[in-house]
């Protein structure tokens, strides 16, 4: 097996993942496959998940 003890050489250095964006740009309501739409998608998914879990907890407490 030639790959068992092969030392790792210097991996290529990655550049910056993305250029910085202002907070107002991140909160912009944009449609389509944009970073802003993905941010809002995540926010609304967390809101829905929290609401659903809250309803379940309240229903359990109300029913005994």
How distant, in Å, are the alpha carbons of 20, 33, 35 from that of 14?
A: 16, 24, 21
Which residues, other chains included, contact 26 with Cβ-Cβ below 8 Å and sequence gap of 6+? 35, 36, 39
Query: How far is residue 6's CA from residue 30's CA, in Å, rounded to a whole number?
Result: 48
List per-residue pLDDT tens for the chain, 64 residues long.
556 666 667 766 766 777 777 878 777 888 788 888 888 999 999 999 999 999 999 999 998 7
Residue 37 · residue 48 · CB < 8 Å: no
Q: Quick one: pLDDT at residue 42?
A: 94
Residue 11, pLDDT score: 64
Q: Which pLDDT score is estimated for 49? A: 98
**Position of tokens 């003890």?**
5
Structure confidence at residue 45 (pLDDT): 97
31: Cβ contacts below 8 Å, ≥ 6 apart: 37
Q: What is the pLDDT of residue 20?
A: 78
């Amino acid at each position: 097996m030639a790959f068992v003890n092969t030392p790792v050489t210097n991996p290529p250095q990655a550049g910056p993942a993305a250029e910085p964006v202002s907070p107002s740009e991140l909160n912009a309501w944009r449609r389509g496959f944009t970073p802003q739409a993905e941010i809002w998608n995540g926010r609304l998914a967390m809101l829905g998940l929290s609401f659903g879990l809250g309803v379940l907890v309240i229903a359990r407490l109300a029913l005994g």
